Amino acid sequence: MKTQPLPKEVTISPDVLFQELGSETVLLDLDKELYYALDEVGTRLWQLLAENGDPAAAMTRLLAEYDVDEATLRKDINGLVDELHEAKLVTVTP
């Protein structure tokens, strides 16, 4: 099974408001009236992407912070980024 590469860059939309609530984050796009909630790991990924937009750097940090294997984490990052992109909360540079 071939591993899917991570996007080169992920940029958070300037129209998205986000608020951390404990270990979770709520995302809100006022224009589209879209509400999205992230769990603890999704919140950490969001924080790392907000810092520099580099999914590969985010994956390196998450591997150090959580007990997860690289293949699973890569799949989860790609899945969440795809969901956020489809919801137009982020833009992605492949």
Question: CA-CA distance, 1 to 32, in Å (whole number)?
Answer: 37
Mean pLDDT of 60-80: 96
Q: Reduce the DSSP state of residue 76 to 3 states and report it.
A: helix
**CATH number assigned to the domain covering 9-93:** 3.90.930.60
Question: CA-CA distance, 77 to 90, in Å (whole number)?
Answer: 13
For the stretch 6-61, pLDDT in tens is 999 999 999 899 999 888 999 998 888 888 999 999 999 999 999 999 999 999 99
**Residue 1's pLDDT band (cuts 50, 70, 90):** low
Q: Can you give the residue ranges of every domain in the chain? A: 9-93
pTM of the model: 0.91
DSSP for 8-74?
A: SEEEE-TTEEEEEETTEEEEEETTTTEEEEE-HHHHHHHHHHHHH--HHHHHHHHHHHSS--HHHHH
